[in-house]
Amino acid sequence: MNMFNAVSSVLQNIAADGSSSSIRADGDTAFGYLVSFEFVFILCLMKEVLGITDMLCQALQTKTQDIVNAIRTVASTKQLLQNMREDGWNCFFIKVKEFCEEHDIDVPDMEQTYILRGGRARRQPDHFTNERFFRIEVFLVTIDTQLQELNYKFNEKVMDLLSIMATLVPRNEFRSFNAGEICKTVEKYYPEDFSLQDRYVLENQLNHFILDISQDAELRKIGTITELCRCLVETSRHTAYNLVDRLLRLLVTLPVSTASAERAFSALKIIKTRLRSKMEDGFLSNSLLVYIEGGIAEKYDYDDIIQDFKNLKTRRADL
């Protein structure tokens, strides 16, 4: 929104002083879209929605996620979007009108029939007003899409399992820990991984596990489930608390949106070039793994890799 005046000036200059008639025409067309009420409306709506979801996006992109705050941010983001959907139209529309008045942009009569850009009104149903288009077809549909995506990514199962993760992180001092409730959740979502006898033993192991970890000053500093799993293996506690270790490993593989997944998709755009477009999936996956886990790959020596490759089978020529 802060760049609106600058972009507007640039497009006006292109439309007036472009090096060719086609460039001037493109500049004039782009400027026409820029100063249209529909463009401004969508621009303002994007600003509001992205403003609400930005905190959640930032929380999910950190490598070491604070599970407790992530859960709270998910809930608050959903609630703010719902509040905007139910009671935010009037306030939002006033902001759009003020912006239009500030930049001399015409605001259409909301009671008049909405006309598609280009004047193709016959494609629309009767009495399709501007108010209906902007409030229902754009404002409400956009918010509903965001809520639907959040509910899909963070459904009841994911939120329940995230809650378990939050109660098992030592740095959170095991607030709200309840072994019985955890076992009920395990029965609900992991019935194939824990038998009835396993769930009974799991409840006892959880109580011993919490007391044990609480008495260890070093373990109390652990802030993620991944670190906790690693520490259990390093201290050989994973054998004593085998069912707790199984639960933690299942929680670690919880399929939620993380920065790792986003980085993997970004890396795919870089790795899969035109020359690699015919590369088989296996080679492509290996190339992606080396690129994504560059910090780990740097620890390996080229000579060791060559020697391992030579040891796979006997070769006619020396490498």
The pLDDT value given to residue 64? 52
Read off the pTM.
0.62
Return per-residue pLDDT of the chain as tens, 319 residues. 567 777 778 877 887 877 788 888 888 888 788 888 988 899 899 999 999 988 888 777 665 555 666 777 888 899 999 999 999 999 999 999 998 888 888 888 888 888 776 555 455 555 678 888 899 889 999 999 999 888 877 777 778 877 887 788 787 777 778 888 888 888 888 888 888 889 889 989 999 988 888 888 878 888 777 788 888 888 888 888 899 888 888 887 764 444 455 556 566 667 667 666 666 777 777 777 777 677 777 777 778 777 887 787 776 666 5
pLDDT of amino acid 258:
47
Q: How far apart are CA 69 and CA 261, in angstroms?
A: 20
Please, what sign has the CA dihedral across residues 216, 220, 225, 230?
negative
pLDDT value, residue 62: 64
- Domain positions in the chain are 36-153, 156-252, 259-312
**What was the pLDDT predicted at 256?**
46
Query: Is the distance from CB of 240 to CB of 213 less than 8 angstroms?
Result: no
